[in-house]
Amino acid sequence: MIQVESLETTKRIAEKLAQVVSENDVILLNGDLGAGKTTFSQYFGKALGVKRTINSPTFNIIKSYKGRLPFHHMDCYRLEHSDEDLGFDEYFNSDAVTLIEWSTFIQDYLPEERLEINIKYIEENKRVFEIKSVGQHYNQLKEVLKDDDATD
Ligand SMILES: Nc1ncnc2c1ncn2[C@@H]1O[C@H](COP(=O)(O)OP(=O)(O)OP(=O)(O)O)[C@@H](O)[C@H]1O
Ligand SMILES: [Mg+2]
């Protein structure tokens, strides 16, 4: 668990992740409405070198950007009652990095190996990040994030 005391901490963790991701990485971002998934994604994308403004993909579901690596930003909120496959596998294997908000709604299409960040709202600017990894590569990413100053 990482104690996040401020927006600045969220930014620092997103930047750290952006430095270490590689092609075909898939990062799941879960947490309630307003937890900070899109905010994290915006910091992440910027640190990955995206120049365009990163907006919430809630309505489009998938938005793609150019950065150090191509960046696919997904928000599967609107797929809660659907089991439509929007070609997820092709996105995951396109030599890009993919961040998925509300990934639980496409559970069946997710790769087995991935990093998951669960954002829990504590109070106005405070959050707790719970990080889970499946696969050796993602275990390493998790270790890098855990090295954050304010970690237990
Ligand atoms: N430490 C923090 N980390 C992330 N967001 C924070 C933090 N502190 C305050 N916030 C604020 O909380 C809000 C989070 O909104 P955001 O749109 O990122 O949530 P979300 O999880 O994407 O919600 P949704 O499920 O509706 O898409 C923003 O207004 C952001 O500025
Ligand atoms: Mg969002």
| Residue 112 located in a structural domain | yes
pTM across the whole model: 0.96
For 150, phi then psi, to 5°, come to -90, 45
| Residue 151 located in a structural domain | no
Q: Is the CB of 57 under 6 A from ligand 1?
A: no
**Helix, strand or coil, per DSSP, at residue 145:** helix
Q: State pLDDT tens for residues 23-73.
A: 999 999 999 999 999 999 999 999 999 999 999 999 999 999 999 999 999
Q: Is the CB of 6 under 6 A from ligand 1?
A: yes
Which of 38, 41, 56 has the most ligand 1 atoms within 8 A of CB, as the residue to mutate?
38
Q: Please say if the pLDDT value at position 136 is more than 50.
A: yes
| Residue 96 located in a structural domain | yes
Cα distance between residue 11 and residue 60, in whole Å:
24
- How many Cβ atoms are within 10 Å of 123's Cβ, its own excluded? 6
| Residue 82 located in a structural domain | yes
Q: 16, 150 in Cβ contact below 8 A?
A: no
Cα distance between residue 10 and residue 106, in whole Å:
25
User: Nearest ligand, CA of residue 102?
Assistant: 1
Ligand 1, atom nearest to 126 Cα: 1
**Helix, strand or coil, per DSSP, at residue 130:** strand
Mean pLDDT of 80-101: 96
- Give the DSSP H/E element, type plus range, for residue 140: helix 136-146
| Residue 152 located in a structural domain | no
DSSP 8-state code for residue 151:
B
Q: Is the CB of 107 under 6 A from ligand 1?
A: no
Q: Is the CB of 34 under 6 A from ligand 1?
A: yes
How many domains in the chain?
Answer: 1
Cα distance between residue 11 and residue 72, in whole Å:
19
DSSP 8-state code for residue 108:
G
Taking the mean position of all CA atoms in its chain, how far away is CA 92? 13
| Residue 125 located in a structural domain | yes
| Residue 43 located in a structural domain | yes
Q: Please say if the pLDDT value at position 147 is more than 50.
A: yes
Range of the domain at 92: 2-146
- Ligand 1, atom 5, lies closest to the CA of 36
The CATH number covering residue 95 comes to: 3.40.50.300
Q: How confident is the model at residue 5 (pLDDT cuts 50, 70, 90)?
A: very high
Structure tokens at 89: 């596998």
Q: How far is the CA of 36 from the centre of ligand 2 (A)?
A: 7
Q: Which DSSP string corresponds to 44-105?
A: HHHHTT--S-----TTTSEEEE-SSS-EEEEE-GGGTT-----SHHHHHTSSSEEEEETGGG
